Structure 1
Amino acid sequence: MSALSKDIFKAYDIRGIVGQTLTDKTAYQIGRAIGSEARARNVKAIVVGRDGRLSGPELCEALAEGIVTAGIDVIDVGRVATPMVYFAAYELGTLSAVMVTGSHNPPDYNGFKMMLAGDTLSGPDIQALYQRILDKDFTEGDGQYRTHDIVDAYLDRITSDIKLERPLSIVVDCGNGVPGAFAPVLYRRLGCRVRQLFCDVDGTFPNHHPDPAKPENLQDVIDALAKTDAEIGLAFDGDGDRLGVVTKEGNIIWPDRQLMLYAADVLERNPGAKVIYDVKSTRLLGPWIRDNGGEPVMARTGHSFIKAKIKETGALLAGEMSGHVFFKERWYGFDDGMYTGARLLEVLSRVEDPNALLNALPNAVSTPELNLKMAREGENHALIEKLQQTARFDNAESIITIDGLRVEYADGFGLMRASNTTPVIVLRFEADNEAALERIQHDFRQILSQATSAPLPF
């Protein structure tokens, strides 16, 4: 048991380096812990699936063995995108699922995203799994294992509800992640003409990394849009729960601006509904939601936290700057990049010029996510906790501390928060103009340079 690394038990998933902090034995122990916790929650069966990483089959097999040893049935849906595992949990009535995925992390990473009895595990629940393994607090039983193909049911569910007013010509870049096996099929079934980029599933990610939050990973989409008659570009992360969007002119429509479009659409049918967005999102989003008849709710970053907030508030829509979007209206409330892409195409198909609609969304001068790298695991959390107590921003109008420090000014904001997946501090800045952006960044430079010797990324 001494080989079990506490560091892999993150805030909203389990994630480690394969063969080092995450082994088949670890996966088996985690399976036993999840199965034991499932029995405590009166769960009878758990759906499991895996993304396209090379380590997926072995880890998934070990995980399933642990779950059935604890006395819980396993329904293995094979190599699928993360949202397809969530969908299977609803479709098959388990409301419980474990996805073996490294998401957007490098190829040598893998991990687990978990849902039990309709609740996505996060924070204390994940730490409780770690403690259960340490205490060898396992149930024993004889669970049954079976496989199930969920693909057709997933595609049929989306295409039966979403209808495009006209066919669109699109670029789809899957970065060799597992969405490549499904996204082009989905959009062709919706009537689109699809130009595929890197849709062969390859866990070594030989072309570019499947992370649409990084501008450099969208360059191939930008190039393809410039050279073809495609109207819009969609890009996905490695496990298919996040979406990147690029216009014909090569403008990246970051997810917080995408959320404006989805909010206007949802609120048209559901006036007064709540719309959730995370602390990294633009400050233009709150006023936009109110102007469209909705109630804005800011929340901490993390798919587990957002889902919990949806349950707490009854919100019909939520989104994160990283690309996770959660539709509760007409869907199940989990994050699904491929479904989000379909909802986007539905809206865009109603207008003659989709790019004009996207480019007209309110915008500000802003940075993408910037990462301040720390030397050790946990150092980022300690530093943010210290700065929440000691940092002083003289010209700020307000400071929001639900997730790090979001410092609001009259003409912009700055954010620093501890990542829950890697030992970095995530920073983001937005302002009305370049001068205001520089002034806000200057304030943050002064605070951070006094608190850490790590090189600043801005």
Structure 2
Amino acid sequence: MSINPAIFRAYDIRGTYPLNLNNETAKLIGQAIGSEALNRQQSTICVGYDGRLSSPVLSDALIAGLLQSGVSVIDLGMVPTPVLYFATHALDTGSGVMITGSHNPADYNGCKIMLGGHTLSGDEITGLYHRITSGDLAEGTGTLTQQDIKVLYHDRVLKNHILQRSLKVVVDCGNGIPGPWITPLLKAFGCQVIPLYCDVDGHFPNHHPDPEKAENLVDLITEVQQSGADIGLALDGDGDRLVVVDNQGKVITPDQLICLFAQDLLQRHPGSKIVYDVKCSITLPRLIDQLGGQSDMWCCGHSMIKNRMQQTKAMFGGEFSGHLFFAEQWYGFDDGLYAAVRLLELLGRTDLTVAELFHPFAPLPSTPMIHIPVTDESKFEIIEQFREFDFAPANVYSIDGLRVEYPDGWFGLRPSNTTPMLTLRVEALTSSALVRISALLEEKLKSIIPDLQIPELAFTNYTTSIYREDTNATDT
């Protein structure tokens, strides 16, 4: 049968159900993953699925394909993505597939894939497509077992972590899969928990499970303010991202979160390496350097950061999209539930409010994350043309699109790996520098494509980050 190559993305497999991702395609994908696993000497694969309406049937189909390839499967049932990652360690398989649409609309679904402790990305993902179209698929008979891993996961998360004072916590899971997992976890940790949309409902009746968008945080902010809670936590649809609201109802930016965790780590482990993506604030590498750490800027994408951390033996990593990766006392994968426990532990050690805790890492003047619609073909051509400009005296980094750093600010421009978009961000030490760099970026963009439509107010002088005015962001 034909299969749409467009569902094989940079970080994962993702499509709409049942348009281009259905039971038949899922079975073929399972057989291709199993074939690749056997080629890498992996014989057992854990499988989990999120709370979307299509996830149970897609999981069954994928498992059927895996078994047909000859690998054995441990079926975890409905779990958050980080629990699937955890199972690959706890059950010593090293390999797992998560059926999840993450934070995307309700009709989306897909797969995140780990083989032998390595998260597949780029050519490794498209390689599965080529296996299917060429018929390079193993045949065999695998065995299937079921495993309930909830108690094991909760116990391991709480191991070595203590909450030193009681905290009132509002948790909004947007009816995604993390709800039934994080609520008992935080109660066991000693928190007073106010759950908000923590029951799983694949229709997402209250708001979309994407906390990166401002409109999806309105109810959480209101509940924090009205309940007098110490903190608000929001997780995305599959639980691998964390967004924080302080006691005043203000959103803590991902940059601030990464800075706090980096500071804590470097105070205890001087000289450690920390990986961050090209969209993060300039304050982060400066903080890491000041504290004697090693800063390592890398490509966007959860699989890119995880693999980079493994290669460089980094102890912590963070993405501007809200993915947080702990290799110290954890396993180096992105886990919003575990990150929440680490944050609450840090807060509990102090007498500070959340607003006070993050005050030293207050955001610099910046634009929101701006998304400009273009074609899939032109987005790469635009980046190549941008490389030809002379940006002296700036330092230019081209590991993922372009990041151009001046002494008083920077801009980043890159092609989205998942949508026909350019994504860009500007940040500066002062408002005047922000205006100057934004004007330069806009001038260069329009010199390449004169009729390019930049969203209204995109370069307005913002003093906070992605959570103001940017209501059209989709993904990294």
TM more than 0.5: yes
1:455 corresponding residue in structure 2: 453
1:177-213 CA-to-partner distances (Å, cap 9, x unmatched) read 1111111111111000111111111112122221122
**What is the identity, as a one-letter code, of the residue corresponding to 2:14?**
R
Call closer, same or farther: CA 1:22–1:381 in 2, change over 3 Å: farther
Indicate the SS of the match to 1:306: helix
1:262 corresponding residue in structure 2: 261
1:443 corresponding residue in structure 2: 440
1:357 is the counterpart of 2:357: yes
Cα contact 2:274–2:314 (8 A) shared by 1: yes
1:330-359 CA-to-partner distances (Å, cap 9, x unmatched) read 000000011001100010001111321112
1:410 is the counterpart of 2:407: yes
Partner Cα distance (1:294, 1:81) in 2: 32
- The one of 404, 418, 426 equivalent to 2:423 is 426
Partner Cα distance (2:105, 2:390) in 1: 36
Cα contact 1:7–1:377 (8 A) shared by 2: no
Cα contact 2:121–2:303 (8 A) shared by 1: yes
1:372 corresponding residue in structure 2: 372
Moved more, 94-103 or 197-206: 197-206
1:375-414 aligned at under 5 Å gives the runs: 376-388=375-387, 390-393=388-391, 397-414=394-411
1:430-453 CA-to-partner distances (Å, cap 9, x unmatched) read 112222222222122122223344
1:285-336 CA-to-partner distances (Å, cap 9, x unmatched) read 0111122221111011011111111111110000000000100000000000
Cα contact 2:48–2:77 (8 A) shared by 1: yes
Instruction: Tell me how far 1:392 sits from its aligned partner.
Output: 4.2
Instruction: Tell me how far 1:56 sits from its aligned partner.
Output: 0.3
Partner Cα distance (1:379, 1:143) in 2: 44
1:283 corresponding residue in structure 2: 282
Partner Cα distance (1:338, 1:218) in 2: 18
**What is the identity, as a one-letter code, of the residue corresponding to 1:82?**
T
**What is the identity, as a one-letter code, of the residue corresponding to 1:32?**
Q
Cα contact 1:372–1:456 (8 A) shared by 2: yes
Cα contact 1:175–1:207 (8 A) shared by 2: yes
**What is the identity, as a one-letter code, of the residue corresponding to 2:422?**
I
Cα contact 1:284–1:362 (8 A) shared by 2: no
1:24 is the counterpart of 2:23: yes
2:291 corresponding residue in structure 1: 292
1:308 corresponding residue in structure 2: 307
1:157-191 CA-to-partner distances (Å, cap 9, x unmatched) read 11222111111111111111111111111111100
5+ unaligned residues in a row in structure 1: which ranges? none
TM-score by length of 2: 0.93
Partner Cα distance (2:405, 2:83) in 1: 38
Cα contact 1:47–1:77 (8 A) shared by 2: yes
Instruction: Tell me how far 1:143 sits from its aligned partner.
Output: 0.3
2:227 corresponding residue in structure 1: 228
Call closer, same or farther: CA 1:5–1:451 in 2, change over 3 Å: farther
Cα contact 2:253–2:363 (8 A) shared by 1: no
1:104-163 CA-to-partner distances (Å, cap 9, x unmatched) read 111111110000011100111111111111110011100011211111110111122211
2:56 corresponding residue in structure 1: 57
1:364-419 CA-to-partner distances (Å, cap 9, x unmatched) read 11233221122x4444334323433x34446x511111111111122111111112
Call closer, same or farther: CA 1:46–1:253 in 2, change over 3 Å: same
Cα contact 2:10–2:122 (8 A) shared by 1: yes
Partner Cα distance (1:208, 1:431) in 2: 33
1:158 corresponding residue in structure 2: 157
1:244 corresponding residue in structure 2: 243
Cα contact 2:247–2:353 (8 A) shared by 1: no
Instruction: Tell me how far 1:254 sits from its aligned partner.
Output: 1.2
Indicate the SS of the match to 2:178: helix
2:467 corresponding residue in structure 1: none
Instruction: Tell me how far 1:362 sits from its aligned partner.
Output: 4.3
Percent sequence identity over aligned pairs: 47
Indicate the SS of the match to 2:93: coil
Moved more, 415-424 or 61-70: 415-424
Partner Cα distance (1:366, 1:198) in 2: 32
**What is the identity, as a one-letter code, of the residue corresponding to 1:310?**
M
Cα contact 2:278–2:299 (8 A) shared by 1: yes
Partner Cα distance (2:180, 2:423) in 1: 31
Partner Cα distance (1:377, 1:29) in 2: 26
TM-score by length of 1: 0.96
Partner Cα distance (2:151, 2:352) in 1: 32
Cα contact 2:175–2:197 (8 A) shared by 1: yes
Indicate the SS of the match to 2:210: coil
Partner Cα distance (2:45, 2:382) in 1: 38
Instruction: Tell me how far 1:7 sits from its aligned partner.
Output: 1.1
Partner Cα distance (1:150, 1:373) in 2: 42
Partner Cα distance (1:285, 1:130) in 2: 38
Instruction: Tell me how far 1:454 sits from its aligned partner.
Output: 4.4
Indicate the SS of the match to 1:178: coil
**What is the identity, as a one-letter code, of the residue corresponding to 2:189?**
L
2:209 corresponding residue in structure 1: 210
